[in-house]
Structure 1
């Protein structure tokens, strides 16, 4: 009697558990922190440092110019509004230092060390595979000529506006980005950049 009752109970339990197990296999796994696409204004070489529960993505990358004079880093924090997922909003912090940059100022050539710290607000929009973005902000900078004497009067420091815009094209097999950034200061002309990149994942 007990054996028959135990067997019947086990059969009923297995019958009840089987649909639950099948449902678990069919349903996708859920995560407390949703996976969010990188903002349109970030480049492929930027590492994702953190993704906060509120959807903000923090990314960073080292900076250097092709001429080898400048190095530094860039840190961005951005998110897509919940009701407007095709838009990206964010902020950018940039630090750059340059050593012995050849410049021409006030009719004379000189070498100058420069340092700049800037912050910008960034906004982008996704149009299918194409993304467009623009940024604006300010940079605190200073430049120190290396030559003594009369060129010392050109030692400068100040705050200038930073403007930039760019476009990003994303496909599964290839992505490209084009960006222009300008600091409105004669001493910082070497930091004005037009960059283009092409990434082919494999």
Structure 2
């Protein structure tokens, strides 16, 4: 199945994200043409890593991918504008654990030496692990954060757990930003700028050709 068809069927399955005017302007490209743009939250190294990861998640095919839609800039703005200081600190921590794991697994000294295929190998190992393993990682992380929030003593999580949590969260945010970008919303998903009548139980194939509605 082509990626265009997959995107049409992706559901908004990971919770609502509140969009501020500032974040909306970034998502729809208002800030992307600024000369000399620089990341506001991520370091240059973190930004480059995010850019590479999102491009692997959503490469350009018959429709624009992450790079063409500047998803890494949106993600940088999301981290800056939407996260609390504690959440920002946690993102930095998870990114560091992921980069440490990546360098260790690839025997590289610098992130810019890691190839796309080496990134993909780790994505496959973590994101495509069997369901039970992924559930264990998520539970371990949830239990860890609950204890941490209560001020209880905790044992450090493995790099694999931290890396999985980081990648899964970034993948979800990338898909969300992709689906809600102006181009995808108007050109790929079902789009009606002036909604009319409300109909309840209708066949999606009949009404939109199987496309999800643009948000």
Structure exhibiting the larger radius of gyration computed from Cα positions: 1
- Give TM-score scaled by structure 1 length: 0.19
- Give TM-score scaled by structure 2 length: 0.19
Q: Which has the higher helix share?
A: 2
Q: Which has the higher strand share?
A: 1
State the structure with bigger RCO (CA 8 A, min sep 6), 1 or 2. Answer: 2
